[in-house]
Amino acid sequence: MIEVKKLHSRRWKEYRDLRLEALKSDPIAFSSSFEEEKIFSDEEWKRRINNVLFAISNDKPVGMIGYIINNKNKTKHIANIFGVYVKKEYRRQGIGKKLFDIALKFIQKNVNVFKINLGVNSELKAAIELYKKHGFKIVGRLKKELLVDGKFYDELMMERIL
């Protein structure tokens, strides 16, 4: 059974380990890198864990999704989803879908949010399919947005109006 929930900040080491695993195993999926984040302070991980929902199996995080709601006056109706990851051995079991469903519920609790956006590497077919299934539409393409190991990648901008 998979449960999706937030984790208390005292469990920051589990978050750190999962995030560093994600950056190492799927470097083209994230704009940040393993080298940049492995040197984060304990406080940084404790702060960041508050924006993340985890898929838990046997009390162990096996997947995650981040979301944040803007706090500027003119853009506080917009939420952003980031850092979506499911451990390789748990993929294709509906966990990504469950993470998304619950994240959307959390975001929609905030009645002032009218739009959700995200960016995704144009080569990540699985992620793009997952996002389309949740009502996200491709609204733009940023060319050569990412440079990983000498190769450029385009980024698709996707959004869903609530």
Ligand X SMILES: CC(C)(COP(=O)(O)OP(=O)(O)OC[C@H]1O[C@@H](n2cnc3c(N)ncnc32)[C@H](O)[C@@H]1OP(=O)(O)O)[C@@H](O)C(=O)NCCC(=O)NCCS
Q: Which positions touch ligand X (CB under 6 A)?
A: 26, 29, 84-86, 91-97, 120, 124-127, 129-130, 133
Q: Minimum distance between the CB of residue 149 and ligand X, rounded to whole angstroms?
A: 16
The amino acid at 132: K
Closer of 86 and 116 to ligand X (Cβ): 86
Closer of 16 and 63 to ligand X (Cβ): 63
Q: Minimum distance between the CB of residue 127 and ligand X, rounded to whole angstroms?
A: 4
Cα–Cα distance list, 12 to 3, 5, 111 (Å): 18, 14, 29
Closer of 42 and 98 to ligand X (Cβ): 98
Q: Minimum distance between the CB of residue 108 and ligand X, rounded to whole angstroms?
A: 19
* Cα 65 to the center of its chain, rounded Å: 4
Closer of 43 and 101 to ligand X (Cβ): 101
Q: Minimum distance between the CB of residue 136 and ligand X, rounded to whole angstroms?
A: 11
**Residue number with the shortest CB distance to ligand X?**
96
